[in-house]
Structure 1
Amino acid sequence: MRSTLRRALAVGAMLTVVGAVTPAVAAYSQDDPRSCNDLMGADTPAFVVCHWLAKPEEALNVAMFWMANDNANLKEAEPMEGHFLDCSAAGSACPDLEGDDTARDENSPAPGDAEDGGTPECEPGQQCSIDGTGEGGDGTQRGLEPGSAGVDARTAAMQNFTPTAQDVAAAAQTPAGQAVIAAKATGVRVWLDTELADDWKAGAESFATAVRRVGALAARPEVAGIRFTSQLGYNATFKTDGEITAFVTAASDALRQAAPGKRLGVHTVVPEFACGVDEACKTEMRKRHPLVASEKVESLLSTDRVDQLSLDTGLLYGGYEAWQINAEKAQHNQWIQVRARSWDVLAQIAAEETGLVGQVTPEQVAARASTAVMDGAAQQVNLWTRVQDAQGAVNRLTAWDELKKLTPIKRRLAAVYNPTTPEVDVTTDLKKIAEAFSQVYLTTA
């Protein structure tokens, strides 16, 4: 029976085809009862349609017909009558076929004189390019907007981002590489915390170099993931939605090649979340920070580009006084909004906390280190161990004893640590971090 079922499924699979047709024909397929377009991804080009030759239930009936009574029908079947011409036989005359006499299969490139190099022709006003720079199924532009700086999707796809063995060996000797090795001895999980936005805007060569450098550091098995940008859409690095989409797409694709199997994360903030239900506050925050409106941040999570989103809470500690929203209320509002949107289904959500450096009370430690987790909105809290303000003053994490008491959520706590500015030395610092945290984000150049 197991063999019979496997054969039935194989027959069913052979009865399904995906064909390439013109956009005009594709338009009619929307009302076709045998259309299987719903099985294809949203980013499938418009000229590709799916059509059932036999629906699954029909395919099963066909398979059972041929296999009934110990394959009796199949055994009795004979080849269909037909007229076949052997062009090699003497006296046979076969027509000459146009072409260059080169044998090709479906994976061969199109002939050099094919129209547009073999790219299907679109109707006026349509974008159906399949080179990764056209319009996606969700209407977003995969390439760059005209006049934008940065590496477009086509250029990124042509780059080789895989680090060499020499790159990996050299990376192990850098401060970040030595920190990764030291972290392994403490048992903490490692994330690399880097910034690729400026390299991406600088052009293909700078971008490829930066990605290979990060990929070389991430080659070690104790590295769990890479956070490749911070304050995405909140700072002044990007000016348009198109730039952000193009950057995240290029960076994610490149890092998937350079560091396969590693999780990818981004950091940002959604200012409107702190407003709660205050509509005037939300309107003002969306006006001030249009690139980090909630729906735009969510769109980044609705693809496979981002595995983890870190939402900053430190940026919520001021700016909402006009609506009588204090820091505690802003933080509470934020996590209610995140939980209501079920973002944890789309990616891992982490709370980024910078407000525990310097002198803090035990109550502040307990609240800021656990509120996001206790509210059920975040799975992880990232605490900075050192923060330098605009005037150059440095505030350090001092609440070590209080953090050690949070043993029940230790596995959810991560420290953000820069190995180029150690408090004692990297090895000693990481041993101390391991007493209160289970993960560490190592800041890399």
Structure 2
Amino acid sequence: MRQRLRQIFVIGLALSLLGVGIPAWSEDDPRGCNDLMSGDTPAYVVCRWLATPEEAADIAKFWLDNDGEHMQEAGPGNPILVDCTEEGNSCPTDSEGDGEMHDGGSPDVPGAEDGGTPECQNGDQCGYVDPTGVSAAEKQSAMETPAGKAAQAAVQTTMRLWIETELADDYKAGKLAEGVKKIAALVAAQPGVIGIRFTSQLGYNKTFATADELDKFVNEATVALRTAMPGKKLSAHTVVPLFGCGANDACKTEMTKKYPLLDPDRIGAWLSKGLIDQLSLDDGHLGTEYATWKIDATEAQRNQWIQVRARAWDAYAQIASEDASFAAAGTSNLTEEQATKAITERIAAPLQDDAAETVTLWTRWQNDQGQVSRMYGEKWAANAIWDQLKKLDAVRPRLATIYDPANPEVDVATDLKNLSEVFGQVYLHAA
């Protein structure tokens, strides 16, 4: 008995020294949410609210009240500056450069520029070979496309630039290599591109019939993209209906039967193997898919992010929430109060649930009949939701949108300028 007590004491001491705590939980814990997890969840997974839905609403209200007064007051901290002329401060003097400030675009210090001519052995002529295999003519051609011209305009804004395309159709047509090369030319022509979103509704639409075919596409597409554009992030968009069920077994059985390709284990394997760097999970189904089991959109969304955290998907890749519900035919008619509530539920909640790192919002699209849905007013007229979104300076880097330069609201430059007032990232559609 004494030996066992000693072992327990040593284990407890080791945990204390390592800074490891055993989470306390009880049936009456007001922050406990274990009831939202399925019955097969491992015992070591403990669910606790970082911010309850009520607290999340209060937080959003605090920052949005009085036209974002608190947001405007919350400026950056004072920078740490060192005055080299002050007695007692020592600053290095042997660094490269001349120690003087220069304007952007001004010539470098003498001797720093050599014209960029490669040095060749034995006086032979030689030239630079682009490792992507994209020729100068292909780059020039890419720059002349609507996406190429828009990319040049986008990098002049404050937004990070992604290229959004659909390679699944090229793959099915046996033209994956051609599709990848077209995107590679666009990326090579515009160095500011962060990454490529290469497919949407992956496994949800009817493009692929079997799980093996789906896996084969993801593997071949990601290998081709990384070979052609090394260092660029790869993103995919999909939906996981099973996650919204929470602990409802009947719901889980039905979702598994209805969407056999959207197996969380399969999707998780793409992430753990490093095939995909960013996964965007669509929220469009949350309000309607679970009515049979009396699971509303708020509960379904909460269930989804609990499952993402429990599976540690955010440890393998950046997880994004995607929402198209802010836009409406013509324009959004939300009042200021409704806009604040929508922002709390669809933007603040996913971010505060500590699973989604970014939120992608659809701001404009056109259906097959030509009807345009917008988040903002026609020709960028002001409305309540757009005015509220412009106040969210603190989370702007986490907000993204998708833009199609072939269907502008006014013109590409005007559209991108207005989008940059709300979003920190843009996915530029390339056909």
Q: TM-score range by the shorter chain?
A: 0.5 to 0.7
Q: Does residue 225 in structure 1 map to residue 187 in structure 2?
A: no
Tell me the SS of whatever aligns to 2:156: helix
* RMSD of aligned Cα (Å): 1.5
Tell me the SS of whatever aligns to 2:349: helix
Larger Rg: 1
Distance 1:253 1:338, change over 3 A: same
CA deviations on 1:65-87 (whole Å, 9 max, x unpaired) are xxxxxxxxxxxxxxxxxxxxxxx
For 2:242 and 2:368, the matched residues in 1 are separated by: 25
Residue aligning to 1:250: 220
Q: Does residue 165 in structure 1 map to residue 136 in structure 2?
A: yes
Q: Does residue 338 in structure 1 map to residue 308 in structure 2?
A: yes
Which residue of 222, 229, 234 corresponds with 1:264?
234
Tell me the SS of whatever aligns to 1:314: coil
For 1:163 and 1:280, the matched residues in 2 are separated by: 52
Deviation for aligned residue 1:233? 0.7
> Matched residues, percent identical?
51
Q: Does residue 439 in structure 1 map to residue 425 in structure 2?
A: yes
For the 8 Å contact 1:161–1:208, the answer to whether it is kept is: no
CA deviations on 1:195-238 (whole Å, 9 max, x unpaired) are 001111111xx221111111111122210000100111111000
Which residue of 412, 416, 424 corresponds with 1:430?
416
**Letter of the structure 2 residue corresponding to residue 370 of structure 1:** A
Tell me the SS of whatever aligns to 2:298: helix
Distance 1:408 1:418, change over 3 A: same
For the 8 Å contact 1:416–1:443, the answer to whether it is kept is: yes
CA deviations on 1:169-214 (whole Å, 9 max, x unpaired) are 11111110111110111121111110001111111xx221111111
**Letter of the structure 1 residue corresponding to residue 206 of structure 2:** A
For 1:238 and 1:229, the matched residues in 2 are separated by: 12
Higher RCO, Cα 8 Å, sep 6+? 2
Which residue of 168, 174, 177 corresponds with 1:208?
177
Deviation for aligned residue 1:343? 0.5
How many residue pairs end up in the alignment? 284
| Superposition pairs of residues 408-423 of structure 1, within 5 angstroms | 408-423=394-409
For 1:370 and 1:212, the matched residues in 2 are separated by: 38
| Superposition pairs of residues 164-183 of structure 1, within 5 angstroms | 164-183=135-154
**Letter of the structure 1 residue corresponding to residue 420 of structure 2:** A
Residue aligning to 2:248: 278
- TM-score of the superposed pair, with normalisation by structure 2: 0.64
Which residue of 150, 157, 164 corresponds with 1:193?
164
**Letter of the structure 1 residue corresponding to residue 389 of structure 2:** L
CA deviations on 1:59-107 (whole Å, 9 max, x unpaired) are xxxxxxxxxxxxxxxxxxxxxxxxxxxxxxxxxxxxxxxxxxxxxxxxx
Please identify, of 226-235 and 322-331, the stretch whose mean Cα deviation from structure 2 is larger: 322-331
For the 8 Å contact 1:161–1:255, the answer to whether it is kept is: no
For the 8 Å contact 1:308–1:348, the answer to whether it is kept is: yes
Deviation for aligned residue 1:337? 1.1
For 2:262 and 2:404, the matched residues in 1 are separated by: 27
Tell me the SS of whatever aligns to 1:179: helix
Q: Does residue 352 in structure 1 map to residue 322 in structure 2?
A: yes
Residue aligning to 2:391: 405
Distance 1:388 1:277, change over 3 A: farther
CA deviations on 1:264-299 (whole Å, 9 max, x unpaired) are 011000001111111110110011001102111111
- TM-score of the superposed pair, with normalisation by structure 1: 0.62
For the 8 Å contact 1:316–1:330, the answer to whether it is kept is: yes
Residue aligning to 1:370: 348
